[in-house]
Amino acid sequence: MSDPSVAEGDGVNTRPTPSSATLKKFYHDMLLIRRFEERAGQLYGMGLIGGFCHLYIGQEAVVVGMQNALLPGDQVITAYRDHGHILASGMDPKGVMAELTGRAAGYSKGKGGSMHMFSVEKNFFGGHGIVGAQVPLGTGIAFANKYRENGAVTLAYMGEGAANQGQVYESFNMAELWHLPVLYVVENNQYAMGTSVERASAQPKFYKRGESFNVPGEEVDGMDVEAVFEAGRKALEFVRGGGGPMILEMKTYRYRGHSMSDPAKYRTRDEVQSIRDRKDPIDQFGKKLVDRELASDVDLKTIDKEIRLIVNEAAEFAIEAPEPEASELYTDVLA
């Protein structure tokens, strides 16, 4: 969702720095994802969320920075670590949490679960469970933009693990060949499940992965929401202006396991703690806001309080909401 306060001056996405209101919104949106995910982890531990549950904790700056750089009408598609993406799209945390608990009030009526959430209303195209499959799908949404000449850009997220999938390169090829308005965002959180980048990737600089197809790329500090926003804005401008596809590699980090059932033997606690201490996207950005006198500690605490309330309500709602009716078993198979 684009913040109108960003788009002042002589046109969209040209103002060099976001307003203080926008910066506070960044903080708010990141913290909402953080608190939401912490609570989701808790509900999983209580057995209220089942199956696979991939938390986004640590990566919040990526989706918040990018989402705020989009214009109305732009579309987003991602893989299964999608809670942050649907929240950043502006969907109600209640409906999101209720999907995680498999309730009728969930955004997929409880039929999709954590990995399969969608919002046609917000141009959020999911939420896809097969590693890499969302990349050609997103390229196809961008194809439709070009077909309709609607000026929209599609944001196709993938993890760095997915970036080794063949279909990603088939997509890069077609996107450049047909000059499709698609921006590929590689969320490089350093681990594809339990396999570190260096153990799986012959070319670990993912922003270079489009070179063979003439798709330009750029590396971005994915722990810095302002850097993400700026890079996203420029890249979107490039793509929207007819430059063809582009790749942004977001260097980020996930604190939690790949999913809730990840024993995390592949890295040390110290590694995680060290990143948290030095690079946490929310803590660091909060400090910046205070240093620049754009917010006080009290302001930040107030935001935290509001968010805790929202998340508590979402959790209560998701626990109390009824499961789908048995008759729902056979609906929504065909139109």
Partner 1 sequence: MSTQILMPALSPTMEEGKLAKWLVKEGDEVHSGDLLAEIETDKATMEFEAVDEGRIGKLLVAEGTEGVKVNAPIAELITEDGEAAPVAAASVKEPVAAPKEVAGTVAPTPVAKAALIEPQVPDGTEMVTITVREALRDAMAEEMRRDPDVFLMGEEVAQYQGAYKISQGLLEEFGAKRVIDTPITEHGFTGLGVGAGFAGLKPIVEFMTWNFAMQAIDQIINSAAKTRYMSGGQMSCPIVFRGPNGPAARVAAQHSQDYSAWYARVPGLKVVAPYFAADAKGLLKAAIRDPNPVVFLENEIVYGRSFPVPKLDDFVLPIGKARVIREGKDVTLVSYSMGVALLLDAAEELAKAGIDAELIDLRTLRPLDIDTVVASVQKTNRLVTVEQDWPICSIGSEVCAQVVEKAFDYLDAPPAKVSGKDVPMPYAHNLEKLALPSVEEVVAAAKAVLYRS
Instruction: Examine residue 70 and tell whether it contacts partner 1 (CB under 8 A).
Output: no
Give the tokens for residue 160. 């760095």
Binders of partner 1 among 149-208, rule CB under 8 A? 166-167, 169-171, 173-174, 177
Binds partner 1 by CB under 8 A, chosen from 93, 102, 140, 281: 140
The DSSP 8-state label assigned to residue 258 in this structure reads S
Q: Is-contact 108 116, C-beta < 8 A?
A: yes
The DSSP 8-state label assigned to residue 329 in this structure reads G
Distance in Å, CB of 151 to partner 1, minimum: 14
Distance in Å, CB of 161 to partner 1, minimum: 16
Cα–Cα distance measured from residue 261 to residue 264, given in angstroms and rounded to the nearest whole number: 9
φ, ψ for residue 183, nearest 5 deg: -115, 115
Instruction: Examine residue 87 and tell whether it contacts partner 1 (CB under 8 A).
Output: no
* Beta carbon nearer to partner 1, 127 or 281: 127
Instruction: Examine residue 98 and tell whether it contacts partner 1 (CB under 8 A).
Output: no
DSSP 113-128: -TT---BTTTTEEEE-
Q: Are strands 191-192 and 154-159 parallel, antiparallel or unpaired?
A: unpaired
Binds partner 1 by CB under 8 A, chosen from 77, 96, 162, 314: 77
Binds partner 1 by CB under 8 A, chosen from 15, 24, 28, 111: 111
Instruction: Examine residue 326 and tell whether it contacts partner 1 (CB under 8 A).
Output: no
Q: Is-contact 99 134, C-beta < 8 A?
A: no
Which residues in this chain contact partner 1 in the complex, by CB under 8 A? Answer: 75, 77, 106-112, 116-120, 125-130, 133, 135-145, 147-148, 166-167, 169-171, 173-174, 177, 331-335
